[in-house]
Amino acid sequence: MSLSDIDLNIAELAKHYTVLDDGSQRITQVYSAALYQSALPLGLADSVQAELLEIASLLQKNSKLEAFFSIPVISREEKTRLVKLVFEGKCSPLVMNFIFVLNEHDRLGLLGASVHAYQILNETRKNQLQVQVITSVKVTPEQEVALLKALQVKLGKQPVLSYTVDDSIVGGLIIKAGDWLWDGSLRSRLQSLRNQLIERSTYEIQSRRDSFSSSEGN
């Protein structure tokens, strides 16, 4: 089988199958998320996206190919043969396995839409920043919203907040985001005040000693 073997009438027939309803969109998101979760820990999220974008470009340029994948009356075996012909040796094992899984579940027609869903997942992750917030008491929903907005402005990214309650900080909050740390806890302020008092006391004691030594010398 070759691309030229695909009858021109297929494109017309596929019109009945290429419009995604809400159910198909949700299924597309599930498959794309599964691929993304497989690629991310391997450090392949970006390279997989690049491969998928090439596939999307190919499907856009060849409507007959996309139509062929979309028609349920065409057998999985026939689609598998064409998948191997078009993609084998050009895609990574991870992406090839993804395409085969779609075909095995009669979802190969969602391949093009899956590219877009995957791209959204990956681009969203790039603009996210994990932020840990430590508070002395549980924050209110209103406080969460206010903090989220403030951190968006401060960090220039979409913060993903996780909260921990630690009453040892006495009051206030501590925010950790990557290498950035902001300690606005009452415990920290009390410690800072304590250090200042110690430094001041040490300075005064040393000054008195110096003054006493000077008096003895005279």
Q: Which CATH number fits domain 3-125: 3.40.50.150, 3.90.180.10, 1.10.520.20, 3.40.50.300?
A: 1.10.520.20
What's the pLDDT tens digit per position in 164-186? Answer: 999 898 888 999 988 888 998 88
In the predicted structure, residue 30 carries a pLDDT above the cut 90: yes
Q: What is the pLDDT of residue 89?
A: 92
Predicted structure pTM score:
0.60
Residue with tokens 């012909």: 85
Provide, rounded to the nearest whole percent, the portion of the chain with pLDDT above 70: 83
What's the pLDDT tens digit per position in 101-125? Answer: 999 999 999 999 999 999 999 988 8
Query: Which whole number is the average pLDDT over 15-40?
Result: 78
3-state secondary structure the chain: CCHHHCCCHHHHHHCCCCCCCHHHHHHHHHHHHHHHHHHHHHCCHHHHHHHHHHHHHHHHHCHHHHHHHHCCCCCHHHHHHHHHHHHCCCCCHHHHHHHHHHHHCCCHHHHHHHHHHHHHHHHHHHCEEEEEEEECCCCCHHHHHHHHHHHHHHHCCEEEEEEEECHHHCCCEEEEECCEEEECCHHHHHHHHHHHHHHHHHHHHHHHHHHHHHHHHC
Mean pLDDT of the chain: 84
What's the pLDDT tens digit per position in 11-20? Answer: 444 444 444 5
Q: What is the pLDDT of residue 184?
A: 86
For 44, residues 6+ apart whose C-beta sits below 8 A from its C-beta are 92, 94
Q: Poorest-confidence range of 6-10, 41-45, 131-135?
A: 6-10
Question: For the chain, which residues make up each domain, given as ranges?
Answer: 3-125, 128-217
User: Nearest 5 degrees, angle CA 87-CA 37-CA 145?
Assistant: 135
More confident: 10 or 188: 188
